[in-house]
Chains A and B, each alone.
Chain A
């Protein structure tokens, strides 16, 4: 394999990884606040059509990304009102959000079907991305850099800021946080909105960058992979980044194996069926879960209040 080829493959892997990284980061913050939002797929779809629609109407991909974030966040608020205000079951409500988001995005997309936009690719001067190394560094959509910047930003926020500490406190022990005067509900609203915005931008990566068009259900289940990713990462930001790229690598490996990429380079790997690689993200998530549970709760980084409705006694 030539260096040229490896760089081209990395570019493909970045494309496969970025949406699940964005959605996964958002979901990680949501779960850290003690809320399990299974509506990632729905929020991604709403973000995909919002980003695409705003770009079609304004001719500005930057506004499109903002629109995608807003769309995802608005969709997430529906979930937030139900689980925070009405204390509905988070699992059922999250699934409902996926179903609702799928339908809503189809409805919003009716008038945008069949239209195209200029893909939101690298904004660096072409000269920088001309040679392979330049392409490796400068050859991506701004959304890719945004995702990579958000990883340390979320890490820093959760670890080193007061707001991040409060958010984690709410997720670990909502009653204690409540008793010392923090508004559990408001913190969770903010976390859910952030998760929705990130899922929305992740969805927009499909409709604005990879395939600049709108098609119903175009995220094709990536929201579920993002959810698995958060568990795989053990709710740790750094591991989420590594996990996202690992999942992206496995998705690429499946296609590479199918295209007989091993035929000439690593023939001994040809005997492994491509379905094996396709199943790996899920297998690895189960393995990670098994390790987490085998270590007992001490080794788990799962927020203690994850999925539990907050019912203050007063």
Chain B
């Protein structure tokens, strides 16, 4: 069953190097080992928490054949290389590296261990033994944008993000476009805080967005901190990565839930069966990777109907928020009327749509 690794006691702070302690050696040598590299603590109630749920799904489904080990709080720099390498040396046959910033490190270690299979989350570099997988979080953002566009009184929405990476840019654009479908004048103020997890900074950024007139703030960072600020101010927001309603029962309208379990179980099963092959997977509502948490009673029935409509549209393929006409921030036409952006273009997007207000 779950082979919990020792908790990482050593943290990187400032310019200090991060080191990480790796889990205990296996007790049952006959089980296939699957390793996980986590960005944050498993108790973040967001990104890493959701990935850990996926890991637990492997334990539940394949516990008699597979054992999982994980390392949390692994920095997205060169210090990740020895941590990934160590998992491979411990005999892991499959290693999930669960953040964008592990991309080159994963490719490098994969080159050293051709017999070990790797799965890199949200990246785009693949090899014979490296798959990539991602989730169409932006489909969920379209649902949140629909709710926000309809419920915002000021028409000024806040978006608290981490870094300008395609995942976040897609989220911002999907949110803004969906909000503008409900309220053509809606604008989205964007703050990227250069971190995935910094509760005090997330809180201060949320306050700043509120002070600048935003009455709904959605978060693309991993802590529930922003929701707690919105709760105190009597405003609304959304959970990120997991249902965060326990942290803000009134402010939490709904959340995008990341459901990694089915994918992780399928890939671990493929290792057991010897049928694993390198692939690129990008699932969304249709495959169940993205889910919307229960709606807060504060969401009116007509808004719930609209939000459910977006979800249903993604499931049956009739809805795609990236359907033209789409204009960039400076007003140039990026996608012509009736055209739909291809997945390949979405995966490398680096421009914001009209109505997004950001500085550098």
Contact = CB atoms under 8 A, between A and B. Distances in A.
B313 interface: no
A3 to B, nearest CB: 12
Contact of B359 (A102, A221, A262): A262
Contacts, number: 157
Interface in A174-232: 206, 210-213, 215-224
B229 A278 contact: no
B13 A261 contact: no
B45 A251 contact: no
Interface in A230-289: 251-252, 255-263, 270, 273-275, 278
A173 interface: no
A100 B9 contact: yes
A211 B199 contact: yes
A9 interface: yes
B246 A12 contact: no
Contacts of B14: 221, 224
Interface stretch (B146-154, B201-209, B296-304): B201-209
Given A106-B41, A255-B193, A259-B190, A218 B211 contact: no
Interface in B193-223: 193-195, 197-205, 207-212, 223
A260 B205 contact: no
A41 to B, nearest CB: 6
B11 interface: yes
B44 interface: yes
A263 B204 contact: no
B40 to A, nearest CB: 8
Contact of B204 (A16, A106, A121, A270): A16
Contacts of B192: 258
Interface string A98-130: 111011001101100110100101000000000
Given A12-B204, A15-B203, A274-B359, A213 B228 contact: yes
The interface size bin for chain A is: 35 or more
A210 B200 contact: yes
A88 B203 CA distance: 39
Interface in A118-147: 119, 121
B321 interface: no
Contacts of A151: none
Contacts of B106: none
A109 to B, nearest CB: 7
Contact of A220 (B195, B205, B229, B359): B195
A117 to B, nearest CB: 10
A264 to B, nearest CB: 9
Contact of B246 (A116, A211, A216): A116
Contacts of B190: 258-260
Contacts of B228: 116, 119, 211-213
A15 B204 contact: yes
Nearest to A106: B7
Contacts of A99: 9-11
A12 B211 contact: yes
B247 A220 contact: no
A218 B199 contact: yes
A216 B41 contact: yes
A305 to B, nearest CB: 25
A255 B208 contact: yes
Nearest to A278: B194
B13 A221 contact: yes
B73 interface: yes
A259 B224 contact: no
Contacts of B202: 211
A100 B210 CA distance: 37
B344 interface: no
A95 interface: yes
Interface of B: 7-11, 13-14, 16, 40-41, 43-45, 73, 158, 189-195, 197-205, 207-212, 223-225, 228-229, 232, 246-247, 357-360
Interface of A: 5, 8-9, 11-12, 15-16, 19, 41, 95, 98-100, 102-103, 106-107, 109-110, 113-114, 116, 119, 121, 206, 210-213, 215-224, 251-252, 255-263, 270, 273-275, 278
17 contacts: A8-B207, A8-B211, A15-B204, A41-B13, A119-B228, A206-B200, A211-B223, A215-B45, A221-B14, A251-B204, A255-B191, A255-B193, A257-B360, A258-B359, A259-B208, A259-B209, A260-B359
Given A113-B43, A213-B228, A261-B212, 10 more contacts: A8-B207, A103-B10, A215-B43, A215-B223, A221-B13, A251-B204, A255-B191, A255-B193, A258-B358, A260-B359
